[in-house]
Every structure is written in structure tokens, then in C-alpha cells.
């Protein structure tokens, strides 16, 4: 018998970073020492108060279904927390709890986009945007990033062109995976003005809003006229080191959020009940846990950036946010006479055990793109291992 596979399945994408993980895992099982920089998972333990609250909730019987949009206590607390950190006004009606940050992407696309609609999305960027746009019959218009003095900035020309070409939806990931880009205030202001003027609806993927090492985070939703046209992706995954617990939220205009909750009923009924009580304890508890997580990540960032920049032919910014680095390795590749960045990745993995992703794992390179980049995630590797792995990589590449 032929298994029936619907036509739309030919359009669904994936995260090819998981293939790198598989390759590194196979080598590890064969006894090779691996330094894992490929996945944005975390090897930092969830704060104690969150774990205690989960156990307590289970013991109190919070193990059945709960409201599809989330327990009222968590929706209310999250509305308050995000209103304060974003300087906007929100109520529970603006919040629908999700099993992770990721589900907000597909549900946003399903709710906002008709087949054939054009959607601007970042490339290099999180690969799920393109996958969901194409899966649901939309037309993705990629925009890139450019190197500036202190970091990557949006290619605003590409965004203007996309709007001119008829895009009515923008996916905007500030603070960005994989480049670590933080929009300067003026850039965000310009983007917000364009969205209001051209009636663009926005998904603001703020998965890394709280992973900031300096300064105050800013949300595009806080600019005039933006709150009513922005849906924010919120996640507990990074701030509370809860990647495997699967809890997040879609935050936005009440009428839109109601439809996302309708998808919740159809997809998963509700998010994990006792995990919601645990997340509530995280939100209401002291900031000690998140502060330790940030300090740990910052130390890793500084060691890694310094060691990368010490390799001749590597240029790496020191991002103020996220736990990703996107070093330019054009110089190394020229010196080593390697044309293909995947070849560089494999050589480093097999020779040194240092495992990272490349530009190719974050979308098809755009026309005119000549520089070569790799991506390091430092959320899943301790600082002594960073030093050890980077020493091997330096010896191999210098």
C-alpha cells in the first residue's frame, strides 16, 4: 500500500541544525570528544523555586486539563510582567499560553496569513518562519542583515522592497538568532513607522528579550501605533532555562489571541497544567535564578568572543543579547582554500570535535551574499569546555 502524503507536506521545512546534532552525537558515541556549539539548548539547570513549584503543583493534583488559554493566574501575572518590561498596557485577554515559544509562529501564520499572501521574514533567521509560511501556502520574502560598526543591522532596503512588492506581514526577531543582532532604537523606530504607514501586521519573536547582558531591552510593540498590530512570541525557555518544559505564550490584540486559543483547543487542548504553576512561581519569585543564568552566559560569551577573534581571519561581534555568535570566517576560508562553509564545518568537527552550525542552517544564502559565516551557540557548553575546544580549533585553523 502507498502511504498517503498530502501535497502540503512537500512544503514543510525543518531545522537542519538537528542534523548537525545527530552527526556530532554519532561521533560522540564512537568515542570522539565533542564540544557542542551547534544547538541553542541549555545545560543550565532550571531555578530551584520553579522546580519546587512544579512538584508541589503535581502533589496538589494540578495534573488534569486546565483552561485552553492557560490558568488565569499565569495569564494575569504574565500580562503584568510583560506590560512592565515592555512599557505597554496588557490584560489577561492579551495572553494565550502555549506549549513553548515555537507554537506561536505556526499559529500566528495560520491566523494572519491567507494562501498567496506575502510575508517578510529574516534570512539568516530561525528556519521555522520560512517552513510555516510555505507550509500554509504563503509566499516568503526574505530580508537579510548587514555588518555595521558594532554588530549586525537590518537590511532596511530589502524590507522597503518587500513592502513595495505587497508584503502585509513582517516577522521580526529582535534579539536575533543567529546573528545576535539588537536593533538600535532608531532602526526600530524606522521599522515601526513603516509598519504603521504601510499597514503591516507584525510577529515580534522575542524569544531572547530577557537574554540581555547590558542596557534595557526594547520591544517594537512599544512604539506608537504598534501594540494593536503586533503579536509577541514569549517563552519561558531561555529566561528560566526551561527549554524542555515547553511553555510560552502568544501576546497581542485580544481579538487575534482569541483565535489562537481556538487553535489551542484543536491542537493540544491546553498547555501542561503543573508546568504553568511552576512558571508562575518563576515570574513571582526572586530574580536570583534568571540573574545566575545571565551571568553564566555572559562569562561564556566573553571567553568565546575573545578566543574567536584571536584566530587570524575570524571576525566576531560581541552581541548584547541572545546566546549566539555569528562570526565572519571569510578570511579563514580563503587562507585554508576552502570554498564551501559546510566543508569547513565538517573539517573542524572531525579534526577537533568542535561542532557548530553554518549560515546554511539559517536559510538559503541571498543573491549577492559573498561573505561566509558560522554560528556558535554557547548555551549548552561550560566555560572550561569552551576554552579547551577553542584551543583545539585555534591550533587547527591558525
Ligand X SMILES: Cc1ncc(COP(=O)(O)O)c(C=O)c1O
Beta-sheet pairing, 374-377 with 357-358: antiparallel
Among 62, 102, 229, 360, binds ligand X (CB under 6 A): 102
Shortest spacing between CB 237 and ligand X, in angstroms: 4
* Residue number with CB closer to ligand X (103 or 353): 103
Among 36, 47, 70, 100, binds ligand X (CB under 6 A): 100
Shortest spacing between CB 324 and ligand X, in angstroms: 8
Establish if 282 lies at the interface with ligand X (CB under 6 A).
no
Q: How many residues does the chain have?
A: 398
Check: CB of residue 360 under 8 Å from CB of residue 342.
yes
Among 124, 248, 252, 282, binds ligand X (CB under 6 A): 248
Shortest spacing between CB 41 and ligand X, in angstroms: 8
* Residue number with CB closer to ligand X (243 or 261): 243
Establish if 130 lies at the interface with ligand X (CB under 6 A).
no
* Residue number with CB closer to ligand X (40 or 353): 40
Per DSSP, the three-state class of 255 is: helix
Shortest spacing between CB 32 and ligand X, in angstroms: 26
283-286 own/partner pairs: CB under 8 Å, 24+ apart: 283/74, 283/77, 283/78, 283/81, 284/77, 285/47, 285/49, 285/50, 286/49
Shortest spacing between CB 273 and ligand X, in angstroms: 18
Shortest spacing between CB 171 and ligand X, in angstroms: 10
Nearest to 213 by CA among 291, 137, 160, 157: 291
Span from 74-82, 98-106, 160-168, 187-195 in contact with ligand X (CB under 6 A): 98-106
* Residue number with CB closer to ligand X (263 or 332): 263
* Residue number with CB closer to ligand X (223 or 323): 323
Shortest spacing between CB 241 and ligand X, in angstroms: 11
Instruction: Rounding to the nearest 10 degrees, give the CA dihedral for residues 296, 299, 304, 306.
Output: 170
* Residue number with CB closer to ligand X (211 or 348): 211
Cβ partners under 8 Å of residue 230, min gap 6: 201, 202, 203, 204, 219, 220, 221, 252
* Residue number with CB closer to ligand X (359 or 393): 359
Q: What is the DSSP letter of 78?
A: H
* Residue number with CB closer to ligand X (352 or 360): 360
Footprint (CB under 6 A) of ligand X, residues 165-224? 173, 177, 205, 207
Footprint (CB under 6 A) of ligand X, residues 140-169? none
* Residue number with CB closer to ligand X (333 or 373): 373
CA pseudo-torsion sign 333, 310, 377, 183: negative
Please report how the helices 128-135 and 103-112 are oriented relative to each other, as an axis angle in degrees rounded to 10: 40
Establish if 126 lies at the interface with ligand X (CB under 6 A).
yes
Among 243, 272, 355, 379, binds ligand X (CB under 6 A): 243
Residue nearest to ligand X (CB): 101
CA distance 205 to 232: 6
Cβ partners under 8 Å of residue 146, min gap 6: 152, 153, 154, 155
Please report how the helices 72-86 and 273-284 are oriented relative to each other, as an axis angle in degrees rounded to 10: 40
Per DSSP, the three-state class of 127 is: coil
Backbone angles phi, psi at 164, to 5 degrees: -65, -35
- Cα angle for residues 137, 140, 144 (degrees, 5° grid): 165
Span from 94-102, 157-165, 214-222, 335-343 in contact with ligand X (CB under 6 A): 94-102
* Residue number with CB closer to ligand X (152 or 332): 152
Shortest spacing between CB 185 and ligand X, in angstroms: 21
x/- track of binding to ligand X for residues 223-242 (CB under 6 A): ------------x-x-----
Q: Is the backbone peptide bond immediately before 274 cis, with ω within 30 degrees of 0?
A: no
Q: Which residues bind ligand X (CB under 6 A)?
A: 40, 100-102, 126, 173, 177, 205, 207, 235, 237, 243, 248
Amino acid at each position: 500500500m502507498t502511504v498517503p502524503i498530502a501535497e502540503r507536506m512537500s512544503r514543510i521545512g525543518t531545522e537542519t541544525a538537528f542534523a548537525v546534532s545527530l552527526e556530532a552525537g554519532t561521533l560522540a558515541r564512537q568515542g570522539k570528544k565533542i564540544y557542542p556549539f551547534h544547538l541553542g539548548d541549555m545545560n543550565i539547570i532550571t531555578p530551584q523555586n520553579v522546580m519546587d513549584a512544579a512538584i508541589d503543583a503535581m502533589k496538589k493534583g494540578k495534573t488534569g486539563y486546565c483552561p485552553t488559554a492557560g490558568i488565569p493566574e499565569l495569564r494575569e501575572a504574565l500580562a503584568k510582567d510583560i506590560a512592565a518590561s515592555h512599557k505597554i498596557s496588557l490584560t489577561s485577554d492579551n495572553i494565550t499560553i502555549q506549549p513553548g515559544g515555537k507554537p506561536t509562529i505556526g499559529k500566528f501564520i495560520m491566523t494572519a496569513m491567507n494562501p498567496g499572501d506575502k510575508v517578510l521574514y529574516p534570512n539568516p533567521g530561525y528556519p521555522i518562519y520560512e517552513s510555516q509560511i510555505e507550509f500554509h501556502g504563503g509566499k516568503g520574502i526574505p530580508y537579510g542583515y548587514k555588518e555595521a560598526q558594532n554588530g549586525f543591522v537590518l537590511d532596511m532596503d530589502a524590507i522597503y522592497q518587500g513592502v513595495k512588492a505587497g508584503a502585509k506581514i513582517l516577522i521580526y526577531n529582535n534579539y536575533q538568532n543567529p546573528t545576535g543582532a539588537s536593533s538600535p532604537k532608531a532602526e526600530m523606530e524606522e521599522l515601526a513607522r513603516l509598519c504603521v504607514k504601510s499597514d503591516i501586521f507584525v510577529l515580534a519573536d522575542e524569544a531572547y528579550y530577557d537574554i540581555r547582558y547590558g542596557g534595557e531591552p526594547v520591544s517594537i510593540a512599544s512604539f506608537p501605533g504598534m501594540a494593536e498590530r503586533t503579536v509577541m512570541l514569549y517563552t519561558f525557555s531561555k529566561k528560566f532555562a526551561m527549554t524542555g518544559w515547553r511553555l510560552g505564550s502568544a501576546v497581542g490584540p485580544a481579538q487575534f489571541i482569541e483565535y489562537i486559543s481556538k487553535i489551542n483547543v484543536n491542537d493540544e487542548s491546553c498547555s501542561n497544567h503543573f508546568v504553568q504553576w511552576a512558571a508562575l512561581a518563576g515570574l513571582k519569585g526572586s530574580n536570583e535564578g534568571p540573574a545566575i543564568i545571565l551571568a553564566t552566559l555572559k562569562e561564556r560569551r566573553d571567553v568565546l568572543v575573545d578566543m574567536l577573534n584571536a584566530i587570524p581571519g575570524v571576525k566576531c561581534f560581541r552581541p548584547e543579547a541572545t546566546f549566539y555568535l555569528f562570526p565572519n570566517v571569510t578570511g579563514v576560508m580563503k587562507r585554508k582554500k576552502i570554498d564551501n562553509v559546510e566543508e569547513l564545518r565538517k573539517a573542524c568537527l572531525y579534526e577537533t570535535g568542535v561542532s557548530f552550525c553554518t549560515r546554511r542552517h539559517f536559510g538559503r544564502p541571498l543573491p549577492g551574499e559573498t561573505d561566509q559565516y558560522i554560528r556558535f551557540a554557547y548555551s549548552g557548553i561550560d566555560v572550561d569546555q569552551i576554552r579547551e575546544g577553542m584551543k583545539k580549533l585555534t591550533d587547527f585553523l591558525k
